[in-house]
Amino acid sequence: MVEYNQLIFEVSRPGRVGSSLPVSDVDKINLQELLPKHLIRQEAAELPEVSELQLVRHYTALSNKNHGIDNGFYPLGSCTMKYNPKINEDVARFEGFSRIHPYQPVETVQGALKLLYELQEDLAVITGMDAVTLQPSAGAQGEWTGLMMVKAYHEQKGEKRTKVLVPDSAHGTNPASATVAGYKTVTIPSNKDGLVDLEELKKHVDSDTAALMLTNPNTLGLFEKEILEIAKVVHEAGGLLYYDGANANAILGKTTPGKMGFDIVHLNLHKTFTTPHGGGGPGAGPVGVKKKLIPFLPVPRVDKDGDRYVMDTNHPLSIGRVKGYYGNFGILVRAYTYIRTMGPEGLRQVSESAVLHANYLRKKLEPYFEAPYSQVCKHEFVLSGSKQKKLGVRTLDMAKRLLDFGYHPPTIYFPLNVEECLMIEPTETESKETLDAFADVMIQIAIEVEENPGVVLEAPHTTVIGRLDEVQAARQPILRYTKEKHKETVKS
Amino acid sequence: MTSTYRYLPDTKQDQEEMLALLSISSTEALFEDLPEEIRLDGELNIPEAVPEPLLLKKMQQLAGQNINANQYPTFLGAGTYDHYIPSVVNHMISRSEFYTAYTPYQPEISQGELQAIFEFQTMVCELTGMDVANSSMYDGFTSLAEAASLAVAHTKRSKVIVSQAVHPESRAVLKTVADGQTYIIEETRLAGDVTDLKQLEEQVDQNTAAVIVQYPNFFGSIEDLAELKKIAAAKGVLFIVSANPLALALLEAPGNLGADIVVGDMQPLGIPMSFGGPHCGYFAVDKKLMRKIPGRIVGQTADDQGKRGFVLTLQAREQHIRRDKASSNICSNQALNALSSAICMSALGKQGIRDMAQLNFEKAAYMAKRLKEKGFIIENQAPFFNEFIVKLPLSVKEANAKLLEAGIIGGFDLGSDYGFENQMLIAVTEQRSKEEIDQFINVLEAVVNG
């Protein structure tokens, strides 16, 4: 294949066009007469000038340099890179969903409101909560939304609590969301089994504790067996329990955060509910709450008045708006379609299969890699590259070697409490053949580390580009294209 | 036990082989660590699975219960617009190498996405006249709130002033965000259809972190950024401008008029209205703020052979490194929509985007002129882009009901957010034909005279 390494700006030639606009059917206006000179653009923005085919070739060439789930296995732990169904894409593009305006009169968008209402209901059942807001755009925004409700709840009771507890295995967004919501974060260490250390927790839970944020199963893929005891400790001190739904793929139809004692839950629809990750987004992060927190939900809320669906803003205790309009509707349409596709038994089988796949893959890899936790895992598991590190090969090197075999590597160096961590989430949508083939490659790499480490240390060998100099990128940032700079690089 | 679901590939034999390796007889054994009390005793109480052909039909019916802009011409704007999206946009973003990938953590197999974002960042810098742009934010509203938080953190001051001519939902999100932190929001009232400069001057003090205005503002009016900047600059206050990127094709770039941060939403360029989301916030700053910008940023670098490549960079700012010290918690963004807008901007091109903006100016001007001729009052005193306020002799609700009967979606009611009774905010994009505009006016005229 001919290598393509041009920016769209380098393809551009003055005078080319890639679209056609209607000819004006109304009077011309002269901006010089309308606006003061200093508000009229003096220099045109340098956007590309390309023909439609050039545009298509450019982005097709770029897509060829990108790995998605459709290209191959993508066991990125905690990201739930499962198959993104095609029907969801079709449905979200129906004009009745994609070409409706958020401020249309409610009688002209009853279908959209019905969908939102039913999705709220379904997610409430799936999480064991009493009500759901679909407004947050992503998991991190869901976390912050949840914590703002925690704050409003305590304040309503006349309490000002300042601490949010998170385990050391938590996602980085948990402590960051706590900070953005105005809380101090206290980190709770895990015990030797990789679970929340209940004794440590008890030491930190007090009348100043606003909430404990927890993923269950946690980021090590392990189920917090003492969850009811944990909930009791937090609740007795007047705190609330927040469920980070990043790992909900393990529990569908088996249990719910509500049953576990959680008060607030966010879900990542782009993880558990198959909406595409889009190269980084858009996702959606709905939040469910127990009854006592309903008054604080963001507005507007989608509600039902007889047979009619309505937008309701009349909730004086609401934390307000967290995002424009009603959430990432196009993503919500996809998740709704998925839930309807699977039904209750289907969703249960999703989790059973996801958990079976993770345990199977771990069993196959355990003889070759350090497995720091021996108990049954849920939808994902961690391995440590500590054995290989002693031989001079790091987890990063093994990840790069995986690229040579067409795999996206697992999440690496996270969670932070496992040395040289590899976090593997195979998901339920992969076939056994894929799991076996991946296991074979991992085993081959483990053998290479012992017999021929050079091939791993110098990986990747087959990608369009080698390892990139990230230090230089951060020290002398080049964050945009400029013609002048380009000329310089051409000269040198 | 064998699945009949098309997204679940395990056959009975697959399952048996996997269970055998684990020396268990059923997947139930893998859930034994769930305490008995928390297990569900039956299936989830949600509707049963629907086969694909039937589901497609059901979803079509549901979509059919909405009136879309292809059926009825829409004159709604107020932050979300019905613009032309070149066909090529949907085709390119439908390449699943883009949409089924995640954040480009592994640059060697993500060069396509990384380069596309680098190009997007460049286009945003070009339009806004700023030095640095990030890879996108959730939407224009949250982007504006993040800009305010950045300004507070940067200046170590605790007051943010926002004009009432900024989108009401932007101000609502800003208020929620500020509630979580320690800064206060003060609003500057309107002088007609623009920000009241005199009041702003009185409000700006040594404790002010930022002044936030919108360009064109919520009423479509074009604020004089040069005058506003003078007021902000006098007290060392950061000047934040929320701008419609399409309007920037013809309006002077905020960066050339003193903006320190420019935010907004790329929705007008290549992103469907989609009932309000997902859209795509953008965030651009002056280079002095480069290391404080929230979200992902892509930078250019080289591999060990010296070949040009792209990586996520300046990550020391972000939540996964800084955890509770991070000033923003944003993780995922709107990458696919940023890609849509980059493709749309490339399709429109340097001249096309200007032509499109010109059409918007002209269509709105035509409609306002015709309304004036018919005796309606246009409330805008300042020049406007593709939106303006018309005063009606009846309620907007009544007018919109009549328009709807005639197959037209009317404008935005300024009554609830501003208390401007009988005032309608009308948006006229390049999608609206002269005929549609004339029909709108005819209906309105008939209602008033009838």
Distance CA B103, CA A406 (A): 17
* Minimal-distance CA residue of chain B relative to A343: B49
Instruction: Give the tokens for residue B129.
Output: 């006249």
Residue B36 region by backbone torsions, left for phi larger than 0, else alpha for psi between -120 and 50, else beta: alpha
Q: Which residues of A touch B350 (CB under 8 A)?
A: 14, 44-49
Q: Which residues of B touch A52 (CB under 8 A)?
A: 86, 88, 347
Which residues, in sequence order, are CB contacts of A17 under 8 Å at separation 6+? A49, A51, B349, B351, B352
Place B389 in a pLDDT band, splitting at 50, 70 and 90.
Answer: very high
Pairwise CB contact (< 8 Å): A9 & B122: yes
Q: Which residues of B touch A325 (CB under 8 A)?
A: 80, 169, 275-277
- pLDDT (tens digit per residue) in A199-219: 999 999 999 999 999 999 999
Residue A80 region by backbone torsions, left for phi larger than 0, else alpha for psi between -120 and 50, else beta: left
Number of domains present in the structure of chain A = 3
Pairwise CB contact (< 8 Å): B104 & A280: yes
Secondary element (H or E) of residue B231: helix B225-234
Pairwise CB contact (< 8 Å): B309 & A340: no
CB atoms < 10 A from the CB of B210, how many? 26
Distance CA B349, CA B419 (A): 40
Examine the pLDDT at B1 and tell me if it is beyond 60: no
- pLDDT (tens digit per residue) in A416-447: 889 999 999 999 999 999 999 999 999 999 99
Pairwise CB contact (< 8 Å): A172 & B321: yes
- Put simply, whether A324 touches B (Cβ < 8 Å) is yes
Which residues, in sequence order, are CB contacts of A131 under 8 Å at separation 6+? A120, A124, A288, A289, A291, A294, A297
Mutant choice from A59, A315, A360, A379 vs B, greatest count of B C-beta within 10 A: A59
CB atoms < 10 A from the CB of B9, how many? 17
Nearest neighbour of B301 by CB, restricted to A18, A90, A470: A470
CATH T-level assignment (fold) for domain B87-343: Aspartate Aminotransferase; domain 2 (3.40.640)
Distance CA A213, CA A171 (A): 10
Same domain, A434 and A328: no
Q: Which residues of B touch A478 (CB under 8 A)?
A: 299-301
Mutant choice from B38, B136, B384 vs A, greatest count of A C-beta within 10 A: B38
Pairwise CB contact (< 8 Å): B409 & A430: no
Mean pLDDT for B333-341 is: 96
Pairwise CB contact (< 8 Å): A26 & B437: yes
Mutant choice from B6, B33, B40, B44 vs A, greatest count of A C-beta within 10 A: B44
User: Is the CB of residue B201 less than 8 Å from the CB of residue B230?
Assistant: no
Please classify residue B12 by burial: count the beta carbons closer than 10 Å to its beta carbon, then call 0-12 exposed, 13-18 middle and 19+ buried. Answer: exposed
Pairwise CB contact (< 8 Å): B104 & A279: yes
* Minimal-distance CA residue of chain B relative to A144: B329
**Domain residue ranges in chain B:** 1-45, 87-343, 351-449
Same domain, A326 and A212: yes
Same domain, A130 and A218: yes
Residue B48's DSSP bridge partners are none
Distance CA A80, CA A248 (A): 9
User: Is the CB of residue B83 less than 8 Å from the CB of residue B274?
Assistant: no
Examine the pLDDT at B330 and tell me if it is beyond 60: yes
Instruction: Give the tokens for residue A159.
Output: 């309490």
Same domain, A337 and A357: no
Mutant choice from B275, B288, B300, B405 vs A, greatest count of A C-beta within 10 A: B275
- Cα→Cα distances A470→A32, A473, A492, B312, Å: 47, 5, 22, 8
Which residues, in sequence order, are CB contacts of B1 under 8 Å at separation 6+? B12, B15
For chains A and B, count residue pairs whose Cβ atoms are closer than 8 Å: 699
User: Is the CB of residue A96 less than 8 Å from the CB of residue B65?
Assistant: yes
Same domain, A265 and A125: yes
Instruction: Give the tokens for residue B34.
Output: 């769930």
Pairwise CB contact (< 8 Å): A279 & B347: no
Full domain range(s) for residue A55 = 8-63
For residue A459, being part of any structural domain is answered with yes
Instruction: Give the tokens for residue A332.
Output: 């919500």
Examine the pLDDT at B141 and tell me if it is beyond 90: yes
Tell me the whole-structure pTM to 2 decimals.
Answer: 0.97
- Put simply, whether A99 touches B (Cβ < 8 Å) is yes
Q: How many helices (H) and strands (E) does chain B have?
A: 14, 15
High-pLDDT (> 70) share of chain B, %: 99
Q: Which residues of A touch B414 (CB under 8 A)?
A: none
DSSP symbols for B287-301: GGGGGG--S--EEEE
Nearest neighbour of A324 by CB, restricted to B17, B276, B347: B276
- pLDDT (tens digit per residue) in B392-436: 999 999 999 999 999 999 999 999 999 999 999 999 999 999 999
Which residues, in sequence order, are CB contacts of A46 under 8 Å at separation 6+? A9, A483, B126, B350
Domain B351-449 CATH class label: alpha beta
* Minimal-distance CA residue of chain A relative to B401: A105
Q: Which residues of A touch B97 (CB under 8 A)?
A: 63-64, 66-68, 70-71
Q: Which residues of B touch A100 (CB under 8 A)?
A: 66-69, 273-275
Q: For residue B430, give how far its alpha carbon lies from the nearest alpha carbon of chain A (Å).
A: 8
Interface of A with B in 192-221 (CB under 8 A): none
CA atoms within 13 A on the CB side of B34: 24
Residue A474 CA to its chain's centroid (Å): 25
For residue A81, being part of any structural domain is answered with no
* Minimal-distance CA residue of chain A relative to B271: A98
- Put simply, whether A2 touches B (Cβ < 8 Å) is no
Instruction: Supply the mean pLDDT for chain B.
Output: 96
Output DSSP code: residue B407: T
Which residues, in sequence order, are CB contacts of A158 under 8 Å at separation 6+? none
Same domain, A229 and A105: yes
Q: State the sign of the Cα–Cα–Cα–Cα dihedral B114, B118, B123, B128.
A: positive
The 3-state secondary structure of chain A, one letter per residue: CCCCCCCHHHHCCCCCCCCCCCCCCCCCCCHHHHCCHHHECCCCCCCCCCCHHHHHHHHHHHHCCECCCCCCCCCECCCCCCCCCHHHHHHHCCHHHHCCCCCCCHHHEHHHHHHHHHHHHHHHHHHCCCEEECCCCCHHHHHHHHHHHHHHHHHHCCCCCCEEEEECCCCCHHHHHHHHCCCEEEEECECCCCCECHHHHHHHCCCCEEEEEECCCCCCCCCCCCHHHHHHHHHHCCCEEEEEECCHHHCCCCECHHHHCCCEEEECCCCCCCCCCCCCCCCCCCEEECHHHHHHCCCCEEEEECCEEEEECCCCCCCCCCCCCCCCHHHHHHHHHHHHHHHHHHHHHHHHHHHHHHHHHHHHHCCCCECCCCCCCCCCEEEECHHHHHCCCCHHHHHHHHHCCCCCCCEECCCCCCCCEEEECCCCCCCHHHHHHHHHHHHHHHHHHHHCHHHHHCCCCCCCCCCECHHHHHHCCCCCCCHHHHHHHHHC
Pairwise CB contact (< 8 Å): A18 & B337: no
Pairwise CB contact (< 8 Å): A324 & B319: no
Pairwise CB contact (< 8 Å): A39 & B252: yes
Same domain, A51 and A110: no
Mutant choice from B36, B95, B109, B291 vs A, greatest count of A C-beta within 10 A: B109
Secondary element (H or E) of residue B425: strand B423-427
Pairwise CB contact (< 8 Å): B119 & A89: no
Map residue B169 onto helix, strand or coil: helix
Interface of A with B in 260-319 (CB under 8 A): 260, 270, 274, 276-284, 298, 319
Strands A240-245 and A264-267, bridge-based pairing: parallel
User: Is the CB of residue B280 less than 8 Å from the CB of residue A280?
Assistant: no
Which residues, in sequence order, are CB contacts of B24 under 8 Å at separation 6+? B30
Please classify residue A461 by burial: count the beta carbons closer than 10 Å to its beta carbon, then call 0-12 exposed, 13-18 middle and 19+ buried. Answer: exposed
Confidence check on the interface: ipTM exceeds 0.90, yes or no = yes
Examine the pLDDT at B2 and tell me if it is beyond 60: no
User: Is the CB of residue B323 less than 8 Å from the CB of residue A172?
Assistant: yes
Distance CA B328, CA A144 (A): 10
Mutant choice from B25, B45, B46, B353 vs A, greatest count of A C-beta within 10 A: B46
Interface of A with B in 332-361 (CB under 8 A): 337, 339-350, 352-353, 355-357, 359-360
Q: Same topology for domains B87-343 and B351-449, yes or no?
A: no
- Put simply, whether A375 touches B (Cβ < 8 Å) is yes
Q: Which residues of B touch A81 (CB under 8 A)?
A: 102
Nearest neighbour of B39 by CB, restricted to A61, A255, A460: A255
Same domain, A40 and A131: no
Map residue B421 onto helix, strand or coil: coil
**Tens of each residue's pLDDT in chain A, 492 residues:** 568 999 999 999 999 999 999 999 999 999 999 999 999 999 999 999 999 999 999 999 999 999 999 999 999 999 999 999 999 999 999 999 999 999 999 999 999 999 999 999 999 999 999 999 999 999 999 999 999 999 999 999 999 999 999 999 888 899 999 999 999 999 999 999 999 999 999 999 999 999 999 999 999 999 999 999 999 999 999 999 999 999 999 999 999 999 999 999 999 999 999 999 999 999 999 999 999 999 999 999 999 999 999 999 999 999 999 999 999 999 999 999 999 999 999 999 999 999 999 999 999 999 999 999 989 999 999 999 999 999 999 999 999 999 999 999 999 999 888 999 999 999 999 999 999 999 999 999 999 999 999 999 999 999 999 999 999 999 999 999 998 755 444 333
Nearest neighbour of A478 by CB, restricted to B48, B133, B299: B299
CB atoms < 10 A from the CB of A274, how many? 24
Instruction: Give the tokens for residue A297.
Output: 């939900």
* Minimal-distance CA residue of chain A relative to B54: A341
Question: Residues B442, B444, B447, B450: what is their CA dihedral angle, to the nearest 10 degrees?
Answer: -40
DSSP symbols for B83-142: ----HHHHHHHT-HHHHT--S--SGGGBHHHHHHHHHHHHHHHHHHT-SEE-S-BS-HHH
CATH number of the CATH domain containing A402: 3.90.1150.10
Nearest neighbour of A70 by CB, restricted to B60, B96, B346: B96
Pairwise CB contact (< 8 Å): A67 & B97: yes
Same domain, A399 and A283: no
Mutant choice from A30, A103, A492 vs B, greatest count of B C-beta within 10 A: A103
The residue among A269, A143, A135, A338 whose CA lies nearest residue B138 is: A135
Same domain, A237 and A334: yes
Q: For residue A403, give how far its alpha carbon lies from the nearest alpha carbon of chain B (Å).
A: 7
